[in-house]
Copies of this chain bind each other. A is one copy, B any other.
Amino acid sequence: MSKNDDKPGQGPDNSRPKARLPKGLLDSSAQEIRATEAMLATIKSVFELYGFEPLATPAIEYTDALGKFLPDEDRPNAGVFSFQDNDEQWLSLRYDLTAPLARNVAENYQTLPKPFRRYQTGTVWRNEKPGPGRFRQFMQFDADTVGAPSVAADAEMCMLAADTMEALGVPRGDYVVKVNSRKVLDGVMEALGLLGDTNITKRLVAFRAIDKLDRLGMYGVRELLGPGRKDDSGDFTEGAHLTEKQISAIVAVLEAKDFGSLRPILDQVTVNTGGVPDEHGGLAHLPYEDALNEMTELEGLIRTAGYGPDRIWLDPSIVRGLEYYTGPVFETELTPAIKDSRGQTIRLGSVISGGRYDGLVARFTGERVPATGISVGVSRLLFGLQLLGKYKGDDVQGPVVVLVFDRDRLRDYQRMVQTLREAGLRAELYLGSSGMKAQMKYADKRGSPCAIIQGGDEKERAEVQIKDLALGATLSKIEDREEYLKKQAEAQFPWPEAELVEGVQQVLKRYKA
């Protein structure tokens, strides 16, 4: 920490600090929290069913242990929040849950069950430029299998994503898990002479360009594969600077409708580029052959297990933007047209994504440990589910509020609250210092089903008044006098104090789903 005058924690001139959050950070309301928790509980139940075990790692790691795998490399610190420890070593807030998993596995490899199957829910941080729908703190929910070379582990990830969507209440047909192998495009890159360390930037920029196909369309991807692209705001993104021949070959692969039509296209690419010559001058083992065989095996496993192409679809255009993928990659989309509150169609993007990353643990140990996994984008998935009418977080009723009519009788009111709580009913004493009108407003704002009032008269008759707040709010709309009187009598009624719990339960029953 540098020792300049601008010390942490001191505003200018000892003035009062302003109550505000840094950009890209948000508070969450009770409703959002309840919706998120309900959704996470469902996801967790599916991950547990699949045999994954929970793991938690701390938010802070050594910077070098996390590595740099974020796509957004133009920003300082490569998009990561970093700071120095007291011993001058650099620490960072984790930017995903995969890098810490690799660290955990490398550290504990001897004692872990192999394969190691873990899930983890956690907050991650990105030191990115905040924008609409782009936050600097968000939550991920990951499942990974480490130490599993078999494509069966990748197949399982696809099935896990599909089962998770259905457990969340998304009907079959309203979601699709797309899978491809990074090796297909790796093979194309090889045929196009783009392998090797000197081409690493070109490959990465190309992968990121292809990852944006859904958002930019093929023309935009072409621009990014070439010299670059200017977006609507006028910002220019540098391209991969591939040749027109290289671009055409990649586009041909991306335009393959399915894996069946992929093989002839790939063969054509190889022939066009002259292929990769073997020692006898003929065409060598085609570089994407492995990938195609792997995908065939994966398809066999998922179809035999009963997952049809309506649920898991092999899509040659999926690539993912992260650098570390080495094999199959996955994306999950909600397929119904999703519209926001203004009726605009929203491009939500992938809600469960991942892939195989066989090199991450080797960063530490030098030994290749095959691994594959998926990550749920918690906020994005919740947003999508809510637009489909699910996980609204509005299913918890507010507390019964015992009002303070007579400040000298706090003890009596507190005892009533106690009685309700002992019966398992959510209840509280009004703890502010305002009068009855404000107290009623408070109970309304809290979403209370009913308020309990006891003035001197009620006390003398050993009674309370129970006021049904939802019903009370509808009274002004009733025009028929008889109906009004009937509803009014239901909306507020005297009740024996000794039977307080039963009286409240009577009101609660009116609103049970």
- What is the interface of chain A, defined by CB distance below 8 A to chain B? 1-2, 6-11, 16-22, 25-30, 32-34, 48-51, 53-68, 76-78, 80-83, 85-86, 88-93, 102-104, 106-107, 113-115, 117-118, 123, 125, 127, 136-137, 145, 147-150, 152-153, 155-156, 159, 163, 300-301, 304-306, 363-366, 396, 398-399, 401, 410-412, 414-415, 417-418, 421, 424-434, 442, 445-446
Contacts and interface: CB of A to CB of B under 8 A. Distances in A.
A23 to B, nearest CB: 9
A49 B366 CA distance: 53
13 contacts: A8-B82, A18-B64, A21-B58, A21-B62, A22-B61, A30-B118, A32-B56, A51-B446, A59-B93, A59-B123, A117-B431, A305-B417, A306-B418
Nearest to A92: B8
A91 to B, nearest CB: 6
A446 B2 contact: no
Given A1-B77, A81-B83, 15 more contacts: A1-B82, A8-B80, A8-B82, A8-B90, A9-B77, A16-B364, A17-B364, A22-B62, A22-B89, A27-B57, A27-B58, A48-B426, A51-B398, A301-B414, A304-B411
A50 B77 CA distance: 45
Given A22-B91, A363-B16, A414-B305, A51 B428 contact: yes
Nearest to A37: B54
A51 B420 CA distance: 11
B58 A426 contact: no
Contacts of A149: 432-433
A17 B60 contact: no
Contacts of A89: 22
